Each structure stands twice: as structure tokens, then as C-alpha cells.
A and B are shown apart, each in its own frame.
Chain A
Amino acid sequence: MLIATLVVGAIGAVCALILGISLVTFAVKMDAREKEVVEMLPGANCGACGFAGCAALAHEITVNPEAPMACPAVKEDTIKAIAALLERDMGSLEPAVACVRCKGGPQEAPSRYEYVGPRDCRSAQLVAGGPKVCQYGCLGMGSCVTVCLFDAMAMGEDGLPHVNIDTCTGCGKCVEACPRGIIALVPKTGTYCVSCISEDAPKDMKKICSVGCIKCGICADVCPFEAITAEKGKAALIDQDRCRKCGLCTGVCPVSVITGRTVPEKARIIPGACIGCGICEQVCPTEAVSGRAKEPYSVDPGTCIGCGLCLAKCPADAIERYNA
């Protein structure tokens, strides 16, 4: 008994010694900060940054002082924390979220045959181009929901996927998974998008879907920033770089196909700085500005849509935005 204990103990001691030596000799030299960065990243290994996973991105941004913060899924304060840790400017990514550009569930846009195969949109797309009559519409089998690593998508009762804007990180996994290219990324600050990508002529589209874009072009006409293009034969498309989240388009769309969350921001005039030129009154698309020449103008918060046109045009920098 005693001998056995000693023998096993001795073997253990030798092994421990070998392990101890190799731990020192073969240690992988790693920046201590790298580990901390890994812990701050989301840990979903979604690959949206272009690296193999969170650890690979952490390594890159730690060792390479030029590498930008490529993770779209981290929050603004996390980026700041990582920047503070690495003692350099990380830049910032405008947070994005997914937008499902189809409103035609089984009720609004019918199917042309019964699909009985695996419940996967990409699979269904292989059978005669998918069961839905509309060739552009959502197949409703939730491939986007399945691939979401952040539980930010769910199938609604209307048979369409819905995005939870608060948990969506804009990693773009769902965009890749959708065989019809229905999902797009939009800025989180104002999620305006035209919820239809049909290229069918309006009269053909109306036969197969009651909620699609009718390509009337009113939104493009009304947009003060020329952010909407309504090309012939295509659904209207919002240029997210130009969109100023005013929300005018959502109000005028006759089929309510434009969706978005308005940022509760308004403009107000700083009385002391206003020179009373009246330019703001002229440019305001909603006639929210009123006043008399050479006297300070005022903005009616009820009518102001926060588009910011007046800010851009004011020669005296006398207009500011505030959270209403």
C-alpha cells in the first residue's frame, strides 16, 4: 500500500515537473490585454467581422494598432472600453439592425403550391423557385431566425420574421441566409426601409400581393433629401447614407409599405443667435417654422419632424436639435 502510494506519488511529481517546465518553455506569448478584449466581445463567433471568431478579432485589434474595430455587434460603450484598454482610438461603427423587406405573409401573398420538404427557405427555394406566388416575397420558413445567434429574430403570427431592434447586433447572418435577399441592414438610429423588393409591375403585383410597393414614386417626390429612388420596374429604395430619418415618406405612402422608427428629435431656434433671415421657414418641408423677418423665428414641436434641413441651411448656426 505504502509502496504503491509512493510510486504513484513519484510518477505524479515527475509529470508535474515536466508539465511545469513545458509551461514555461513552450508558453504562447500573448498580450494580457488580448484576453480582456476577448471577454468584452460578444463571444458569438458569428464571423461578421471577417475573422474566424471573436478571439481572432481580439488578437488582430490588440497586435495591430491600425486594425479597426470590425465587430458590428458590440455596443458603443464596449468600443469605448476596448479603446481605453488598448489606449488608442478605435473609431466607431454606426450600429445597424436588420430590416425584413416584405410585409406579405400567407394572408396577404398566397402560395402557388404546397411545399412539404424541410422547413428551410433555401430548401424551399429549390423547388420550382419557392411556393410563394410572388417571386420576391418572404417564404416564411424562418431560415433567418434559425441562423440568428443573438435571439433577435422570431417568426410572428403573421408568418413573417420580426426583428427585435434592441437585441439585433447587425451582424448580417440573416442577410446571408435569406435566399431572396429580403433582409437588409439599416442604421439603428432610424430604421427606415421600404418593406418590399418586388420588381413586378404594379398591376401584376396587385394580383399576387395586397401589401407590396406599387412603385408610385410619391415617397421619392416627398423626400427632402433625395434619399429615395423609385426606378421604373423596381420597388422604391432608401439610400441609408442620405436618409435623415424625418419619416415624411412613411406618412405619404399610400400602401403604408415604408416602415421605420422615428427618432424623437426636434429642432429649436436659439432666440439670441437667430438673425431672422427666414431661410428656415422656406426650407422646412412641414411648415413647422414661423416668424417675422428680422425677428427670432420659432419652431412648432408638434409639426417638426426633426429632419434637420433647417440646421443645414441656417447661416447663423442658430438652430439646434434636442430630444423631445
Chain B
Amino acid sequence: MSPFKGGVHPPEEKALVRDRAIEDFPLGARYSVPVQQHLGAPARAIVKAGDAVRKGQALSEPQGYVSVPVHAPTSGTVKGVAKVVHPVTGLLSPGVIIEADGKDEWAEGLPLRRDPFAMDKGELLEAIRGAGIVGMGGATFPTHVKLNPPEGKTIGTLIINGVECEPYLSSDHRLMVEEPERVLKGIQVAMRVLGLDRAVLAIEANKPDAIRVMREKAPGEITVSPLSVKYPQGSEKQLIKALTGREVPSGGLPMDVGTVVQNCGTCAAIWDACSAGVPLIERITSVTGRGVRNPKNIRVRVGTLLRDVIDFCGGLDGAAKIIFGGPMMGIAQFTQDIPVMKGTSGILVLTEKDADIGGYSPCISCGRCVEACPMGLIPSTLSRLGERDLWQAARKSGLTDCMECGCCTYVCPARRPIVHFIRHLKALSRSAGSKQAKGA
């Protein structure tokens, strides 16, 4: 039986880095840390040019509840708060430029030695927020908000997402194989915050070594659940459907069906934050694709420039497209002068053959996208509405339910950029909405 409707089976391409052990990226000379690395209210830089900073020191101050700080990746001097290209929006946005002094000294008091299992819920949430932890699967939603559901929402199930269904990427895979304790301890802390006594760790069946390691190490209250291989198995709603049989209502959140989903990398960061007070200043990321000479899995500081990462991996070789994230949902980049962020789960370098850049033709109504859509939408109709700017009609056809997983675009024989049309409609709908709000 299929765990959820629709979905596709793109070539996995994970063999490029799947079996390569995590390498530590050497300390760089210069870091550029974007202030906005989360979804939600902006944060404000609190350092200025000339300030001396130490590793783990906060560089920004959150503005509002759904907001987190960023921290210095190493010790050094602040060169300024400059406008730098933001890898997600592509626009110039404030980033703290730090020149490393090479000493890599921790900020005062770090790392701490404390027992998270002796801390109460409020202290743990504060530690998680203070460490600037966001969803590390790529969506970068602040974790403390997700772990603190509002009054009236009962959470019964904690799901840990170790699915990593995007082709090419293996960062979560390597983390689970090489550092299972961090992940498992982090899951236990998350359970403590939510007041739960069990959790499910979901791993796609194409990572047998991760499943084996996790089964060996996991305590009784954490069930390791292998899932069939299908994209987008790692999407929250599809994951919940596959594991619990519950369907998140349209416009709803996982908490509406009593679940919270956390990425396994986020759990490892939660453990570091709660046990040692170490903020989220580094992550594991896969540098992969046939356009880079030596694909690797690296542990890299947030703020490291893409250019340096590419150099470390032997440089480019016939690269046509660089993507932050995976090939299905990642974001194409136009420059190498951008930093690695908290949500950079992978750096994918595609060759011209793999990138397959080209034009598109009219919809032939074959219906393949309808079969592929995991949300039960009719992408062909939405794409045609997109060509005509008809966002009102699109809203009636479930526009806002689309999570932009890319299955429709992947299967389209006319090579139509369906997700792009849908994003266009969403943007039109948003701007009409904000205009209305202004008028009222």
C-alpha cells in the first residue's frame, strides 16, 4: 500500500557522497553571517565595525517571538554590517562580516556543562531560542515556536524526520550514521520539552546503515520506523500521513493533528544547545553533484563563503547550476559570494546535462502532474491559470495547499515550470491581499 497519494521516484544520485565520512571544514579567514536566517520576524544586528567577537557570541537580537539570533562562527573582528546577497531571497540584506583571528576562542563561559534532563521546559525552550535554532531541513522555522504549541493544542506524537528524500543529499544520513548519540539525546530533550514519553524516528529505507545504527542505539521510547522510498516522503504532511494515517487539514499545521515534526539535524543542534549552551554556528552539509570535482560531506561553520567551500571540494568542473538544497526544492544561486546558512542542507552543483535548462511548451493535459501531486491538486490547471494571472480562480483550486515540492514539474513532458507558475500566483494573491489590507 502506498503511504501517501502521488509522489515521484527521481534518480536518487546519493551514491556520490553517501559513503563519505563527514570532514571538518578548516577554519577560514573571513565569514559573512546574514542576520536573517529564519522564517519570521526580522532580527537586528547588535555589533558594529571594529567590535571584537568570540565564537558563539550573539551578533543579533531577535525582534518578536518568532525570531532568533545569529552567532559568531569564530573569534575575530567585525569588519562591518554590510549588505550581502541573501542565498534565499537573492536580495541584498544585512550580514555581519567577520575577519577571523585564527584563535577560534569560545565566548565567555562556553561551552557549559549542564544536564538538560534536570532543566524544566521553560529553561530548555530559552536555551533553544538563545542558541538560534531553526528547522535545519531547509525551511528554517524557529524551533522554540514549534516545540511550544499554543494552549488547547495537545501533542501526542513527536516525529523525527530522518527521511532526507531529496535526491543527491546525504547530510542527515551521515549525521545519523556517525553521530547517533547527538541525535538521540536531542530527541529525548525535545520529548522532555513536549512532555511526551515516546517519539518516532522516520528514515527512508534507502539508508539501511542509518536504520541499523539507530536501532542499535535508540532507547526503548524512540521507535525507528523505516519508510518506503518515495519523494516527497520527508515533507511534514506526507510524513504524518505515512506514519499516523492522519491528514493535516488544508491550511492547518501538524499540531492540528497532534503531531510535531523535527528534523534530525535540528535535534542534534538542540542537544548541543541544551547540554553545552553551544549555539547553532555549524552544520553538516553535502557538497555534491557532478559539477564539483570532489563531492564531500562537510561540517561547516555558518557564514562560510560558498567560494571557499567549492575550493575545498576541488573546484568546479563543467558546472552549469549551483543550488542550495536539493534538486527538487533547492534554490538556484547566481554568485559564489554567498554564505552557507543554518538551513543549507546541501550544496548541489549540476552539470549542463543534469541541469537540463531549456524552454517549455503549452500544457497538453496529459494528467501526469495530477497523478504525481501529493496534495491532490490539479497542477496543470494551476499552471494555466498562472500564465493568465488568474489568482482568484487558483485560490479556489487549492493554490495555498501547494507546498512547491516540484513533483509536477519533474514529471511534466512539456517541461513546464509549474511550480514557478504557482509561486507567481501566490505572489499575486499575496500582493492583492496586502493591498486590500491597506485599503481597509
A-B contact pairs, 19 of them (CB 8 A): A112-B334, A112-B335, A116-B357, A116-B358, A117-B420, A118-B386, A118-B387, A118-B417, A118-B424, A122-B424, A123-B420, A125-B427, A127-B420, A128-B91, A128-B332, A129-B90, A130-B90, A135-B91, A135-B92
The distance in angstroms between the C-alpha atoms of A120 and B417, with both chains bound, is 13
What is the interface residue range for chain B against chain A? 20 to 34
Q: Is A126 on the interface with B (CB-CB < 8 A)?
A: yes
The distance in angstroms between the C-alpha atoms of A302 and B331, with both chains bound, is 60
Q: Is A113 on the interface with B (CB-CB < 8 A)?
A: yes
Give the nearest-CB partner of B426 in chain A: A126
Residues in B lying within 8 Å of A, measured CB to CB: 89-92, 331-335, 357-359, 386-387, 417, 420-421, 423-424, 427-428
The distance in angstroms between the C-alpha atoms of A126 and B423, with both chains bound, is 8
Q: Are A116 and B424 in touch, CB under 8 angstroms?
A: no
In the complex where A116-B357, A118-B420 touch, is A127 in contact with B427 (Cβ < 8 A)? no
Q: Are A126 and B420 in touch, CB under 8 angstroms?
A: yes
Return the contact of B427 from the options A112, A116, A122 (Cβ within 8 A).
A122
- Residues from chain B with Cβ under 8 Å of A129 in the complex: 89-91
The distance in angstroms between the C-alpha atoms of A90 and B420, with both chains bound, is 46
- Residues from chain A with Cβ under 8 Å of B427 in the complex: 122, 125-126
- Residues from chain A with Cβ under 8 Å of B424 in the complex: 118, 120, 122-123, 126
What 10 A-B pairs are tightest by C-beta distance, nearest first? A128-B90, A113-B334, A129-B90, A129-B91, A123-B424, A126-B423, A117-B420, A112-B334, A117-B417, A116-B357
Per-residue contact bits, chain A 125-163, to B (CB 8 Å; 1 contact, 0 not): 111111000010000000000000000000000000000
Q: How far is the CB of B228 from chain A (nearest CB, A)?
A: 33
- Residues from chain A with Cβ under 8 Å of B357 in the complex: 116
Give the nearest-CB partner of A112 in chain B: B334
- Residues from chain A with Cβ under 8 Å of B334 in the complex: 112-113, 128
Q: Are A128 and B89 in touch, CB under 8 angstroms?
A: yes
- Residues from chain A with Cβ under 8 Å of B89 in the complex: 128-129
Give the nearest-CB partner of A131 in chain B: B334
Q: How far is the CB of B147 from chain A (nearest CB, A)?
A: 32
- Residues from chain B with Cβ under 8 Å of A122 in the complex: 424, 427-428
Within 8 A of B (CB), among A87-137: 112-113, 116-118, 120, 122-123, 125-130, 135
Q: How far is the CB of B337 from chain A (nearest CB, A)?
A: 11
- Residues from chain A with Cβ under 8 Å of B331 in the complex: 128
The distance in angstroms between the C-alpha atoms of A122 and B424, with both chains bound, is 7
Residue among B90, B358, B387, B427 having the largest count of chain A Cβ atoms under 10 Å: B90
Within 8 A of B (CB), among A144-196: none
Residues in A lying within 8 Å of B, measured CB to CB: 112-113, 116-118, 120, 122-123, 125-130, 135
Q: Are B421 and A118 in touch, CB under 8 angstroms?
A: yes
The distance in angstroms between the C-alpha atoms of A135 and B420, with both chains bound, is 20
Grouping DSSP codes into helix (H, G, I), strand (E, B) and loop, the B interface class, with mixed when no group exceeds half, is: mixed
Q: How far is the CB of B313 from chain A (nearest CB, A)?
A: 22
Q: How far is the CB of B169 from chain A (nearest CB, A)?
A: 21
Q: How far is the CB of A118 from chain B (nearest CB, A)?
A: 7
The distance in angstroms between the C-alpha atoms of A112 and B90, with both chains bound, is 11
- Residues from chain B with Cβ under 8 Å of A118 in the complex: 386-387, 417, 420-421, 424
Q: How far is the CB of A299 from chain B (nearest CB, A)?
A: 47
Q: A118-B387, A122-B424, A126-B423 are in contact. List 16 more A-B contacts (CB 8 A).
A: A112-B334, A118-B417, A118-B421, A118-B424, A122-B427, A123-B421, A123-B424, A126-B420, A126-B424, A127-B420, A128-B89, A128-B334, A129-B89, A130-B90, A135-B91, A135-B92
The distance in angstroms between the C-alpha atoms of A67 and B334, with both chains bound, is 53
Q: How far is the CB of A184 from chain B (nearest CB, A)?
A: 17
- Residues from chain A with Cβ under 8 Å of B335 in the complex: 112
The distance in angstroms between the C-alpha atoms of A266 and B417, with both chains bound, is 57
Q: How far is the CB of A64 from chain B (nearest CB, A)?
A: 21
The distance in angstroms between the C-alpha atoms of A128 and B91, with both chains bound, is 6
Return the contact of B359 from the options A113, A116, A125, A135 (Cβ within 8 A).
A116
Give the nearest-CB partner of B383 in chain A: A118
- Residues from chain A with Cβ under 8 Å of B423 in the complex: 126
- Residues from chain B with Cβ under 8 Å of A116 in the complex: 357-359
The distance in angstroms between the C-alpha atoms of A34 and B359, with both chains bound, is 49
The distance in angstroms between the C-alpha atoms of A296 and B331, with both chains bound, is 73
Q: How far is the CB of A110 from chain B (nearest CB, A)?
A: 12
The distance in angstroms between the C-alpha atoms of A74 and B388, with both chains bound, is 27
- Residues from chain B with Cβ under 8 Å of A123 in the complex: 420-421, 424
The distance in angstroms between the C-alpha atoms of A4 and B108, with both chains bound, is 105
The distance in angstroms between the C-alpha atoms of A145 and B435, with both chains bound, is 22
- Residues from chain A with Cβ under 8 Å of B91 in the complex: 128-129, 135
The distance in angstroms between the C-alpha atoms of A113 and B386, with both chains bound, is 23
Q: How far is the CB of A17 from chain B (nearest CB, A)?
A: 42
The distance in angstroms between the C-alpha atoms of A118 and B335, with both chains bound, is 22
Give the nearest-CB partner of B420 in chain A: A117
Give the nearest-CB partner of B87 in chain A: A128
- Residues from chain A with Cβ under 8 Å of B428 in the complex: 122
The distance in angstroms between the C-alpha atoms of A116 and B332, with both chains bound, is 12
The distance in angstroms between the C-alpha atoms of A126 and B332, with both chains bound, is 12
The distance in angstroms between the C-alpha atoms of A128 and B424, with both chains bound, is 13
The distance in angstroms between the C-alpha atoms of A147 and B331, with both chains bound, is 29
- Residues from chain B with Cβ under 8 Å of A135 in the complex: 91-92
The distance in angstroms between the C-alpha atoms of A116 and B360, with both chains bound, is 10
The distance in angstroms between the C-alpha atoms of A129 and B92, with both chains bound, is 9
Residue among A118, A129, A130 having the largest count of chain B Cβ atoms under 10 Å: A118
The distance in angstroms between the C-alpha atoms of A119 and B66, with both chains bound, is 36
- Residues from chain B with Cβ under 8 Å of A112 in the complex: 334-335
Give the nearest-CB partner of A125 in chain B: B427
Q: How far is the CB of B283 from chain A (nearest CB, A)?
A: 22
Q: How far is the CB of B82 from chain A (nearest CB, A)?
A: 11
Give the nearest-CB partner of A128 in chain B: B90
The distance in angstroms between the C-alpha atoms of A122 and B425, with both chains bound, is 10
The distance in angstroms between the C-alpha atoms of A135 and B90, with both chains bound, is 10
The distance in angstroms between the C-alpha atoms of A116 and B417, with both chains bound, is 10
Residue among B91, B333, B424, B428 having the largest count of chain A Cβ atoms under 10 Å: B424
The distance in angstroms between the C-alpha atoms of A128 and B92, with both chains bound, is 10
The distance in angstroms between the C-alpha atoms of A135 and B89, with both chains bound, is 12
Q: How far is the CB of B93 from chain A (nearest CB, A)?
A: 10
- Residues from chain A with Cβ under 8 Å of B92 in the complex: 135
- Residues from chain B with Cβ under 8 Å of A126 in the complex: 420, 423-424, 427
The distance in angstroms between the C-alpha atoms of A236 and B421, with both chains bound, is 36
The distance in angstroms between the C-alpha atoms of A191 and B245, with both chains bound, is 64
The distance in angstroms between the C-alpha atoms of A135 and B85, with both chains bound, is 11
In the complex where A113-B334, A117-B417, A122-B427 touch, is A127 in contact with B359 (Cβ < 8 A)? no
- Residues from chain B with Cβ under 8 Å of A127 in the complex: 90, 332, 420
The distance in angstroms between the C-alpha atoms of A126 and B417, with both chains bound, is 13
Q: How far is the CB of A231 from chain B (nearest CB, A)?
A: 19
Give the nearest-CB partner of A111 in chain B: B334
The distance in angstroms between the C-alpha atoms of A113 and B336, with both chains bound, is 12
